Amino acid sequence: MTSASAPGKIILFGEHAVVYGQPALAVPVSEVHADVEVSTESGEGIWISAPDIDLYAELGTLPPDQPIAAAVRRTLPAVLKTGDLTHPTFRRLTIKVTSSIPRASGLGSGTAVSVAVVRALAAHFHYPISDEEVSSFAYEVDKVHHGTPSGIDNTVIAFARPLFFVRGAPPETFRVGRPLTILIGDTGKPAPTRDAVADVRRLWEADKEKWEGVFADVGEIGRHARKAMETGETARLGRLMDENHDLLRQMTVSSDELERLVAGARAAGAMGAKLSGGGRGGNMIALATRERAPRVSDALHAAGAKNVIITTIG
């Protein structure tokens, strides 16, 4: 048996603007992860087992847009010495997927499953795979169900390092100067990223000059934030999060639930807070000192958070 796992992720700065070429910052969240086990036994077929979603099926019976099937179909021909999945050396293969990452909430659940599937299959067939290749396979799967994602999710999850990401450019990882405590508050409301991205596109189409100005401001915040993370200027980072959140509100991607959590975190002494990911629901993040984090966590629960993850970056 071979296994692999992949972390969740959060976007710290630059969501939505990243779609329009601005930089964004994202970090892996190892407190939650997707895990994949691959085993070969006697028998036939490629079986996918995902108990979390009640799935147990032979690969051939799954539609092209089933994300686990898409990841397996993309990866197997590349990692097998033979591209022929009916080859006699190829015995029954079972691919078991489990995940502790909440779904549709901006934590990269689907992408983490793809990355773990790719890594587990590559390891099982002794195929030495680079992070770039893992990332590009996962991107192809993300495209199946997200349309035209910027690529930030697959990149940060495949590289599993803090990332300064510009669409189409080689990913830049960077060092975090001083550890940061981030609280991730879940509104519990599933958030279809695709809809939020489409709505922002409509705004942009109606007034490109205005929105490109807003996106450029977000990009500037991202560049300052990278510097503040590298140099350990935590208070400054918090202010930049607040500024980024204001611009996301202008893009209409916040929601009442997110606003309550952001306000609750700030009132409890967080240094900054913002929504994270597509918005309209899903998760928000707050920056706090280690000592203050429990109080901020209580405040998030009191403001309606269904779940709070406390993670350390760097």
**Binding region for ligand PMV (CB under 6 A):** 11, 15-16, 18-19, 106, 149-150, 152-153, 193, 197, 277-278
User: What's the closest the beta carbon of residue 196 comes to ligand PMV, in angstroms?
Assistant: 6
Nearest CB to ligand PMV, comparing residues 3 and 30 = 30
Helix (H) or strand (E) segment spanning residue 75: helix 67-79
**DSSP collapsed to 3 states, 255-286:** CHHHHHHHHHHHHCCCCEEEEECCCCCCEEEE
Nearest CB to ligand PMV, comparing residues 79 and 184 = 184
Nearest CB to ligand PMV, comparing residues 15 and 37 = 15
Nearest CB to ligand PMV, comparing residues 37 and 142 = 142
Residue facing ligand PMV at closest CB distance: 277
For 62, the token pair is 């799954």
Provide the residue type at 162 as one letter.
P
CA distance 301 to 309: 11
Give one word for 279, left, alpha or beta, with left for phi > 0 and alpha for psi -120 to 50: left
Q: Report, as residue numbers or ranges, the catalytic residues.
A: 153
User: What's the closest the beta carbon of residue 174 comes to ligand PMV, in angstroms?
Assistant: 19
User: What's the closest the beta carbon of residue 39 comes to ligand PMV, in angstroms?
Assistant: 31
Nearest CB to ligand PMV, comparing residues 193 and 254 = 193
User: What's the closest the beta carbon of residue 101 comes to ligand PMV, in angstroms?
Assistant: 11
CA distance 137 to 115: 8
For 17, the token pair is 């603007």
Beta bridge partners of 25: 13, 164
User: What's the closest the beta carbon of residue 85 comes to ligand PMV, in angstroms?
Assistant: 31
In 20-162 the beta strands, taken as DSSP E runs, fall at 24-41, 46-50, 55-58, 92-99
